[in-house]
Amino acid sequence: MLARLLALVADGRLHTPGELAAELGVSTELVEAMLAELQRHGDLAPAPSSCHAGCTSCPMNGACARAEGSAAGATPLRPAAPRPPRS
């Protein structure tokens, strides 16, 4: 199931946990748990901050902050850098 989840999110598109849950036929909560596990394991990483301190005039800065997790407690994830092979 985890491999299927990784394959689903690796298509280069923007995904939401709800949409991934529908694809996998499981609950959104389970997808969120799996995403958290993939993040702990290092397969996914929080996306870097995109909001700039000087961007207060941007009408989208609310959306930007939300995407960064400060507003909704959500952390956008992206694939982590490849890990070195096991030593």
Interacting residue ranges for another protein, rule: CB under 8 A: 1-4, 6, 9-20, 26-27, 29-30, 32-37, 40-41, 44, 47-52, 54-64, 66-67, 71-74, 76-79, 81, 85-86
Tell me the two tokens of residue 22.
């529908």
Q: What is the nearest approach in angstroms of another protein to the Cβ of residue 78?
A: 6
51 and 68 Cβ atoms separated by less than 8 Å: yes
Q: What is the nearest approach in angstroms of another protein to the Cβ of residue 85?
A: 7
Q: What is the nearest approach in angstroms of another protein to the Cβ of residue 1?
A: 4
Q: What is the b/e burial string over 23-52, where b = at least 16 CB atoms within 10 angstroms of the residue's CB?
A: eeeeeeeebeebbeebeeeebbeeeeeebe
With CA atoms as reference, report the closest residue to 72 among 43, 30, 42, 32: 32
